[in-house]
Amino acid sequence: MDRNKYSKAETFRYEILAVQRQGNRLLNNLLKEIGLTASQAEVLRILDEWKNLSLKDLGHLLICESGSPSRLLERMCADGLVEKVVDPKDSRYVILQLTTQGLEKAKLVEGIEQGLYEQLMQLYSEKELETINSLLFRFLKGQALADTLKRRGYEP
């Protein structure tokens, strides 16, 4: 392999991996203090923002989980963070909603995320963040995760 030919692309690949790992490490350390994983935190934030969702609809909004998040949700229900309620529009289905404890944890997660966003905004200008977001979104174009980001309103 001609290392010089691919050195910029290889650097990009490993920088993406390193940034993801470091970001996950920071977030997981903060979430550990409130007894959550990053996946659980994402579910709480989505249900807090979008309110009552079916399992399928929640799955279409998650970045952290591919496929069905049923195992994750079972754990969160057992922990008293989420409850399943019969859908008033169709009793064959259930909707997911946050419990009081889930709402409290969602607010804690929101505070943690805002702290991380403040750190990013100190490192990068708004214009730089806009450029980075645009470049990364281009990398995901045509992929299922790009559609998930769009559904959540994250499109440069």
Torsion of CA 22, 25, 30, 34, to 10 degrees: 150
Determine the Cα angle at 46 with ends 40 and 48, to 5°: 100
Q: What percent of the chain has pLDDT over 70?
A: 97
Domain total in the chain: 1
CA 37 to chain centre: 11
* Domain membership flag for residue 117: yes
Dist CA 37 CA 118 (whole Å): 21
Tokens 């559904």 belong to 151
Whether the predicted model's global pTM rises above the 0.85 cut:
yes
Domain that holds residue 81: 37-123
Assigned domain for 80 exists: yes
Q: Is residue 15 situated within a structural domain?
A: no
Provide the Cα torsion 106, 111, 113, 117; round to 10°.
150
C-alpha–C-alpha distance, residues 106 and 138, integer Å: 30
Q: Is residue 139 part of a domain?
A: no
In a domain, 28, yes or no: no
Cα–Cα distances (Å) from 12 to 2, 7, 111, in that order, read: 16, 8, 31
Instruction: Let me know if residue 101 belongs to a domain.
Output: yes
Q: What is the CATH number of the domain that holds 95?
A: 1.10.10.10
pLDDT at 6: 86
Q: Using one digit for the tens of pLDDT, what is the confidence trace for 55-113? A: 999 999 999 877 678 899 999 999 999 999 998 888 888 999 999 999 999 999 999 99
